[in-house]
């Protein structure tokens, strides 16, 4: 799947299904800080897994907590049902967490211009996510 298509699905999931726009706006600075400062848990450094996705792997549970905290129970249920209808074998919360993270990173990259350190962190996690998406597609 092309990156633009994934970004579109992430936007729909976050803005329309989960209705997180207001929550993200209200907590933007704190969310950005948490994601940019994510590091792989110590156990991940000891395993043979691809260490190139450490920031994305560390930020994924945070994205899950954000979607749970920021969406209403009704919006969350509706989004879970939608994912379940499209991807019946997938874990809907994991899919929604991934789409939320993709959306957060896209927004973060857009807002980081003028801050080289912040932009570099967003670019790194964006590259990790893009690499993961390419691996999943092949």
> Looking at per-residue confidence, does 34 or 6 come out higher?
34
**Banded pLDDT at 1 (limits 50, 70, 90):** low
Instruction: Provide φ and ψ at 20, rounded to 5°.
Output: -95, 0
Would you say how long the chain is, in residues? 138
Q: What pTM was computed for the model?
A: 0.84
Q: What is the rounded CA–CA span in Å between residue 102 and residue 125?
A: 9
The per-residue pLDDT for range 111-123, each reduced to its tens digit, is 887 888 888 888 8
What token pair was written down for 23? 């929550």
Q: What is the rounded CA–CA span in Å between residue 34 and residue 77?
A: 26
Per-domain boundaries in the chain: 3-137
Q: Give yes or no for a contact between 36 and 122, defined as CB atoms under 8 angstroms apart.
A: yes
The per-residue pLDDT for range 57-81, each reduced to its tens digit, is 888 999 999 999 999 999 999 999 9
């Amino acid at each position: 799947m092309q990156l633009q298509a994934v970004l579109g699905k992430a936007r729909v999931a976050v803005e329309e299904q989960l209705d997180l726009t207001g929550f993200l706006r209200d907590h933007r600075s704190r969310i950005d800080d948490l994601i940019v400062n994510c590091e792989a848990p110590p156990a991940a450094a000891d395993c043979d897994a691809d260490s190139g996705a450490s920031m994305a792997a560390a930020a994924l549970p945070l994205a899950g907590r954000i979607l749970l905290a920021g969406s209403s129970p009704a919006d969350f249920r509706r989004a879970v049902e939608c994912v379940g209808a499209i991807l019946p074998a997938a874990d809907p919360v994991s899919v929604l967490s991934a789409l939320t993270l993709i959306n957060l990173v896209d927004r973060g990259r857009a807002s980081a211009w003028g801050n080289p350190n912040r932009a570099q962190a967003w670019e790194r996690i964006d590259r990790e996510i893009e690499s993961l998406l390419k691996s999943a597609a092949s």
